[in-house]
Structures are given as C-alpha cells and as structure tokens.
Amino acid sequence: MKPAIVILLSLPLMFNRAKPETALGDSGLAGMREIPAGRYRPFFRSVNESAIVKVKSFYMDVHAVTNAEFLQFVRANPQWARSKVARLFADENYLRQWAGDFEPGTQTPSNSPVTNVSWFAAAAYAKWKGKRLPTEAEWEYAAAAAPEGMQRNTRLTAIILGWYDHPTPTILPPVCSTYRNGFGLFDMHGLIWEWVADFNATVTRQDGQDGAAKRFSCAASSLGAADKEDYAAFMRYAFRGSLQASYTVASLGFRCARDNNH
C-alpha cells in the first residue's frame, strides 16, 4: 500500500512542474510561455547531420506580434518607419498595408498580426523588446505540438494543409483566433507565416554552376528529407528558402523568443 500512496501524493507536484503559467513574475516574460526542452526532427538535413536535433528549453511569445505592438516599436525607433527605413533592411513593400508611417489604418486591425515586415525589422523589434527571433529548430519544435483537444483521428498536417489551401485574407483575423497548441501557443499554423532567426540555414542552392563543382560539391551540402510525405513541412522550408532578409510578404509576420537560463 505504501508505495501507491507516495505516488498519488506526488502527482499534483508533477502536474505543477509540467504546466508553467503565463504570468511568470518577471515582466519581460509576460505574454510568453516556457517551452520545455525536447527533440525535433528537421525536415531537411545534411548527410552528416543527426536526424534528431535537441532543442533547449526557451520562452516563446504566446501570439505573433500585432500591428499595435509594432506601432509602439516604430514610434520609439522612427528609423523603422515606412518612409525612413534603409533600403538595405526592407524592400519597398515594407508595411505597405499601413495607412501611414505611424498609422496602421482600417485595413490592419490593431490586434491582427503585423506583416510585410522584413527579417531585419523583425530582429530589430525583438532586440528592442530584449528578446530574439526563435531559431528554425525552436519554431518547428514549438509548432509541432497538436492543437488542444484535437480529435484522435486528425493529423496536424491535414489541418495545416487545409490552411495553406486558402488565400491570405485582405484583412487578417486577430491573433489568438485559430487554435492553441499543447505548449499554450496560439496560431502556430493557420494565421500567418513567421520569420525565424536562421531562415537561411537550409542550403538550397548548388555550390557550383559548372559540372565539376556539382560532381564534387561538399558532402555536407547534400540534403535529404526526413519524411517525404510531410508536404506541409516541405512548403515551409521551400518558402523560407525563397526568402531574403529584406523581403516583405503580406502573409509573413513573426513572434519573439527568449533564452531560458533557469
């Protein structure tokens, strides 16, 4: 009898540990969730690369950065206003859906995710907040968690592909309007695409243009897909591979992450 009682008593403690709360005391972590350490299987990997990548525990924003939040950043850092931004850091469509430099306007509700922002702008926002962009491994790992209450016979991939099938609406819905996943994060799929810190880490281009270079290209550059059936993951990697850091896209926004030093 005794061992059973001990186990029962320790159960609530275990649950407590497994369920971090949003209000984490430190105000810098408000609106973030602690994501436990785990493993992630990259869709593409090099021949020499391990099939499994370990991801350390980190914090992730519960939802994507909104127009209202980005407006605060632009007000505090006017060099990132639409008419002022350096061309090196954002293309000509940067924040094009906004009505003006400091005016999101009627097409961009304050609580909808900000899009048409370059990687440089997203990274600068994150730095301003004392945060950073999540790595591709962190983002993919966090996004792989199933929606809360998902039916047993449903596959996350099917849900994602259903979203990919639909064109981006002119007026984006507000954040937290799709589903919350097992890590407590909203809209990881289903609302917008999101920048990651190292989106250029998938080497898609040939090393050489001539035949010899192709024959001898580094083994490290040869890529293999982990699961060729995962068309949704393929779409994300292909999309990232098509980006450059100054590009802006109407369906591409971001959320921030932070190290977990505990």
Partner 1 sequence: MMIPAFLLLSCHPRVATMPDSCCPGHPVTAAPDEPAVASNSIYQLDGRWTDENNRLVALQSLKGRVQLVAMIYTYCGYTCPRIIADMKAIRNNLPAGVRDQVGCVLVTLDPERDTPAQLREFAREQGLDSHWELLRGSAAQVRELSMVLNIQYANAGNGNISHSAGITVLDREGRIVRSLQGTGVAGTEVVAEVGRIAVP
Binding site for partner 1 (CB under 8 A): 46, 48-50, 79, 84-89, 119-120, 123-127, 130, 132-133, 197-198, 200-210, 212-213, 216-221, 223, 241, 244-245, 258-259, 261
Minimal distance, residue 25 CB to partner 1, in Å: 18
Minimal distance, residue 93 CB to partner 1, in Å: 16
Amino acid letter, 177:
S
Of 112 and 202, the one with the shorter C-beta distance to partner 1 is 202
Location of structure tokens 């080497």: 203
Of 133 and 160, the one with the shorter C-beta distance to partner 1 is 133
98-112 exposure pattern, b = at least 16 Cβ within 10 A, e = fewer: beebeebeeebbebb
Minimal distance, residue 210 CB to partner 1, in Å: 5
Of 134 and 184, the one with the shorter C-beta distance to partner 1 is 134
Of 129 and 180, the one with the shorter C-beta distance to partner 1 is 129
Of 92 and 103, the one with the shorter C-beta distance to partner 1 is 92
The beta-strand segments (E) located in the chain are 32-35, 38-40, 44-46, 53-55, 58-61, 193-194, 223-225, 252-253, 257-259
Minimal distance, residue 207 CB to partner 1, in Å: 5
Minimal distance, residue 152 CB to partner 1, in Å: 36
DSSP assignment of 77-137 equals -GGGSTTTS-TTTS-TTTTTTSSBTTB--TTS-TTSBP-S--HHHHHHHHHHTT-BPPPHH
Distance (Å, whole) CA 33 – CA 20: 7
Minimal distance, residue 33 CB to partner 1, in Å: 18
Name the residue among 8, 64, 78, 5 with its Cα closest to residue 31: 64
Of 86 and 171, the one with the shorter C-beta distance to partner 1 is 86
* The dihedral formed by the CA atoms of 25, 137, 196 and 31, expressed in degrees to the nearest 10: -20
